[in-house]
Amino acid sequence: MIVVLKQHPEKERVDRLMRHFTDMGLQINYSEGENTTILGLMGDTTRVNERDILAYDVVERVQRVTEPFKAVNRKFHPEDTVIEVAGRKIGAGYFNVMAGPCSVESEEQIIEVAETVKKAGASFLRGGAFKPRTSPYSFQGLEAEGLRLLLEAKRQTGLPIVTEIMSEKHLDLFADVDIIQLGARNMQNFMLLKELGRSNKPILLKRGLSATMEEFLMAAEYIFAGGNTNVMLCERGIRTFETMIRNNLDISAIPLVKQCSHLPIIIDPSHAAGRRDMVQPLSRAAIAAGADGLLIETHNNPRCALCDGAQSLDLPQFDAVMQDIKRRAAFEGRALQPEV
């Protein structure tokens, strides 16, 4: 349930109203925008009588929210959320490109990739240290050593880093990571969602391989419910009957998320198609449809990559795609980050 307040409400009267709700055992999500202030009520709101609430003179209107996702619902927070990480803004027209290899493989590799993607205009370095692989016999990532190498690349280039967590037991290792990625395969790992909710780290939450939009937003709701509101969504393709591409990029997820939620949405065209020749057209589609950023796998030698080589751009290809992204983002009125 949301309670929309009249403009410029008197603080004391708002406090009185809020006390009324907390006395009923409800949680309140307070959202103050430029034009409206909204109290989002969470908990058992069946006992809330709308007429009693309208009797408070600070109240403009009361609306029941039928969707199961509340805190991430745009009705609770009508303005776009902007997440600030390492001097970059994400969301509401601020556009970020996160680039780097699927897996961190060596110091030379990650430093070369970091330097190149930074020069081309990426605002974050991505790279996997803990890898969720279908086969236990495939390369599992360099784990803690991979994190150390990412931090070294960050130190040398100044690029903030995005990397995937696979277990809540590793949270301490991620202390200096700028954005923690929660991968598609863990989108409904509820213990991990709860732990990330208790942390204050920005989270990039990837959509599960066959997750509905409601399940996706409910996963984000878990993180919010723990108190962490620094969540960005990432659409990375969903599984369909098609076999010529790895997944189908769900472009409609962009306007759908914008309609249902206030969270930023990043598009991953690399895992979506699983083919490097589709990264540029899908990036264009994502920008045109309103995405807040892109996550692009980039490798200094894709043919020898230990993971996801077929979908990785090489460094000159990334540079070319990035120049195209810059032009198209500017055309669509997005503010490419970092601001120089």
Q: Which residues bind ligand PEP (CB under 6 A)?
A: 102, 128, 132, 183-185, 206, 236, 271
Q: Pick from 104, 247, 308, 317: which binds Mn ion (CB under 5 A)? A: 308
Read off φ and ψ for residue 6, nearest 5 degrees: -70, 160
Assess 164 for contact with Mn ion (CB under 5 A): no
Q: Which two structure tokens, joined as six digits, stand for 260?
A: 């249902």
User: Is the Cβ of residue 185 or residue 194 nearer to ligand PEP in the bound state?
Assistant: 185
CB of 300: closest distance to ligand PEP in angstroms?
A: 16
User: Residue 236 touches which of Mn ion, ligand PEP, none (CB < 5 to 8 A by kind)?
Assistant: ligand PEP
Bond prior to 338 in cis (omega within 30° of 0):
yes
Measured from each CB, the residue nearest to ligand PEP is: 183
User: Is the Cβ of residue 263 or residue 305 nearer to ligand PEP in the bound state?
Assistant: 305
Q: Which long-range contacts (CB under 8 A, 24 or more apart) does 170-179 make?
A: 170/130, 171/195, 171/199, 173/144, 173/147, 174/147, 174/201, 176/151, 177/147, 177/150, 177/201, 178/85, 178/86, 178/124, 178/154, 178/202, 179/85, 179/98, 179/124, 179/203, 179/204, 179/232
CB of 311: closest distance to Mn ion in angstroms?
A: 7
Q: Which stretch binds Mn ion (CB under 5 A): 35-43, 95-103, 157-165, 315-323?
A: 95-103
Unique residue bearing structure tokens 């929309």:
4
Q: Which residues between 99 and 128 bind Mn ion (CB under 5 A)? A: 102
User: Residue 269 touches which of Mn ion, ligand PEP, none (CB < 5 to 8 A by kind)?
Assistant: none
Residues that bind Mn ion (CB under 5 A): 102, 308
